Amino acid sequence: MRILVALDQDMRSAHTLSQVTQLLVNTWANVTLLGIVPRKSDDGGVPMDFVDTMNQYHKAVLQGFAAEDLPYAPADDDYEIAEIRPGIYEKIGNTHGGIKELTVRIRVGNPTQTILEEAQDCGSDLIVLHGDMDSQQKIATKADCSVLIVKKERDTGRILCFLDDDLLSQRSLEMITQMAVLFNAEIEIAGLTDKQSVEEKIEKKLDWLIHYFNGKGIQPWIQLVALSYLEPFILEQDHWSLVTMWMGETSIFKRLFSVNKVAKLLESRKSSVLLLR
Amino acid sequence: MLKTAIAVDADLASRIAIRCACQLGRSIDMSVGTIHALEPGEEGHAIATGWVRQTWEDAVVRESMDQVTRLVKSEQAGCRMLEPPLFLPPENDRGDRIARHLRSNHCNLFVEGFLHRYKPDLFMEKIGSRFYRTLPCPTLMAQNVPPMSKGVLWLSQGKVTEKMMETYLGIFPNQAIELELLICRFGKNPSAAAKDSSSASGVEPAVSFFESAGGTIKNISTVEGSPSSMAALVRDHFLIVSSVPPQNSLMAQLLSKSPCSLLFLP
């Protein structure tokens, strides 16, 4: 798995990174820390304070691991930032000793465009960004891979997974399991229904999912939500750490997202959001 | 020994009911029987007359019985105490048929599955049915199977009778599960949090009775507000205990918001 973490100098980035670090400790995923600056500094390069921030982020990730478990190359104080392609900078330093890749990059430009380009370039399976980034809605809608929008920490550890009659991928289920560990949370599955035939399909899927999560030592909560009640359901309840939605080609959310209905609903929510593809 | 009967159909709700009952059975001395009340509808629409119709109807009923038997067998792997299904003949009111079975077999606990729904219509319909209005025995509406360590929350609007406590102790005699009591005062102005009410007058006799039987109530508190404002308090327990509230009442609205299994006491 490759994770792309989009970072800026907002305090939220540090919180997002601490969440991602726990995910990395569990998964040993390849990771790109992507810093985004809107424009170059007056000398035509990247602002030095931003380079320092990215270096701090890099160190923070490494410090999340026990020394003997570190899958990435250790941090090197002797590094340089090189422009590897126009507008794309990379931290060049010690790359030896890691069995997994940790890349630190800075891109100059529009956040939506740079994040989506970088996700394609590095073949990322998951984009992580914080919930105050202006571009979150566009990235969530346009990305080809899964997207995790991290909002502020919640007290209650419960993850809500919306389930419709779209196909579920093994990778997305594993990601939810990882999130349950990451947020130290219980899983609540809301099966979306609108007619009897769909309800029967959803019941079978719920049965399978209960079996799947039981196998992982997780006992999920389940409930059914009529599609026509989705909006009040989301608006009324705000107690989840994370809301996840499958965004397959035929999924309900894929259709709803095209009109930004659910995106707007979730924008105002305090829960983090994981869109699975 | 607690004599339990689970209503089983070939669906997910029934699996949840079985798992919930079996989870209880691991800490309580109980027998776990299964029943399936054949519905008149299972005989289907007539496709012909005479022996053709009879043969077709028999096949539909047999298929239904086979499905239920298979479901129970598949659950027996994780629950050895589960007994094979007993099929009750069709009757217009399924609830009446089950109630008669529970009474004649002196069952102490009835369990049926119900998938929790955000829209409360089906829940209201169920608790408004004749079966729930005249409960033949304590009835567990199994909606989810969280761990028993999440404890039991007893919901009341101010009065808990000794009879109810006695019935509860008949099910949980060994204090296997932690018990909390929440007194709900429904009104427009929600309080910030549940307040300690260990000396509330309406519950004192029942609490004394409970304690004299060797039980302890971990916490007694009161909360004021609307069902929506209280919803968070009924979300994370192994069981919620209550009497059957009137259909569409404020207590019914609160219970409809809980994804926990609900134990209704007569």
B108 with B148, same domain: the answer is: no
A2-150 to CATH, choices 3.90.1580.10, 2.40.50.140, 3.40.50.620, 3.40.50.300: 3.40.50.620
Determine how β-strand B195-196 pairs with β-strand B30-37. Answer: unpaired
Determine if residue B65 is left, alpha or beta; phi over 0 gives left, psi from -120 to 50 gives alpha, anything else beta.
alpha
8 Å CB contact of B118 and A226 = yes
B77 touches chain A (CB under 8 A): no
Does this chain's domain A2-150 share its CATH topology with A158-276?
yes
Q: Which residue in B18, B79, B114, B115 has the most chain A C-beta atoms within 10 A of its own C-beta, making it the best mutation to test that interface?
A: B115
B102, B153: one domain: no
* Spatial separation of the C-alpha atoms in residues B167 and B263, rounded to whole Å: 11
Q: In tens digits, what is the pLDDT along chain B, a chain of 266 residues?
A: 899 999 999 999 999 999 999 999 988 889 999 999 987 655 455 555 666 656 666 666 778 889 999 999 999 988 889 999 999 988 888 899 999 999 999 999 999 999 999 999 999 999 999 999 999 999 999 999 999 999 999 999 877 888 888 899 888 876 668 899 999 988 876 655 666 666 666 777 778 888 887 777 888 888 888 898 898 899 999 999 999 999 999 999 999 999 999 999 99
Contact assignment for A224 to B235 by CB distance below 8 Å: no
CATH architecture of the domain formed by A158-276: 3-Layer(aba) Sandwich (3.40)
Instruction: Quote the pTM value.
Output: 0.85
Query: Which of chain B's residues have a Cβ under 8 Å away from the Cβ of A226?
Result: 117-119
Instruction: Please name the helix (run of DSSP H) or strand (run of DSSP E) that holds residue B102, with its range, or none.
Output: helix B94-104
Most A-contacting residue of B11, B20, B118 (CB-CB within 10 A), to test interface: B118
pLDDT tens digits along A106-144: 999 888 999 999 999 999 999 999 877 667 778 887 888
Residues B250 and B156 in one domain: yes
Q: For A7-59, write each residue's pLDDT tens digit.
A: 988 888 998 898 899 889 988 999 999 999 888 888 888 888 999 999 999 99
CA distance B124 to B120: 6
Tell me whether residue B210 is in a domain: yes
d(CA A33, CA B52): 72
Question: Does residue B118 lie in a domain region?
Answer: no
CA A134 to chain B, closest CA, distance in angstroms equals: 31
- The DSSP code for B117 is B
Q: Answer for the pair B139, B107: CB distance below 8 angstroms, yes or no.
A: no
Q: Which of A204, A224, A233 sits opposite B115 (nearest CB)?
A: A224
Domain layout of chain A by residue ranges: 2-150, 158-276
Flag if A226 and B117 touch (Cβ within 8 Å).
yes
Q: Assess whether B23 and B71 both reside in one domain.
A: yes
DSSP helix/strand/coil, B220: strand
Residues B180 and B89 in one domain: no
Side-chain-side CA neighbours of residue A59 (13 Å): 9
Interface predicted TM-score (ipTM): 0.87
- The answer to whether residues B83 and B162 belong to one domain is no
User: Would you say residue B181 lies in a domain?
Assistant: yes
- Test A223 with B15 for CB contact under 8 angstroms: no
Which candidate from B118, B146, B259 shows the least CB-CB separation from A229? B118
The domain in which residue B171 lies consists of 144-266
| Residue B215, domain member (yes or no) | yes
